[in-house]
């Protein structure tokens, strides 16, 4: 079984909290799990906002690029 870095860090912080070596809040102890999730959520929201406020010209350009990629993939499959 492979243990990830956030899980290992959480275990270390949990042991430190349980042995009263540190007197930190539980928010800090659980930070190895919620910080990456929070960063991912913020990135997801920013990406959604970028798509929401995308200009019409950029939207048309993106559709043309996607169509060219589909056409290129279709040509590659034929050969």
pLDDT digits (tens, 9 = 90+) for 1-27: 888 999 999 999 999 999 999 999 999
Q: Could you tell me the residue ranges of all domains in the chain? A: 5-78
High-pLDDT (> 90) share of the chain, %: 76
Three-state SS for 16-70 is: HHHCCCCCCCHHHHCHHHHHHHHHHHHHHHHHHHHHHCCCHHHHHHHHHHHHHHH
Q: Say if CB 32 and CB 7 are below 8 A apart.
A: yes
Q: Against a cut of 0.95, is the pTM above it? A: no
Mean pLDDT of the chain: 92
Residue with tokens 């009263």: 20
């Amino acid at each position: 079984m492979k243990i990830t870095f956030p899980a290992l860090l959480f275990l270390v912080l949990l042991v430190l909290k349980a042995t009263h070596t540190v007197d930190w809040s539980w928010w800090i102890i659980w930070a190895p799990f919620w910080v990456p999730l929070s960063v991912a959520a913020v990135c997801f929201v920013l990406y959604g906002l970028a798509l929401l406020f995308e200009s019409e010209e950029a939207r048309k350009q993106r559709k043309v690029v996607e169509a060219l990629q589909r056409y290129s993939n279709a040509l590659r499959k034929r050969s």
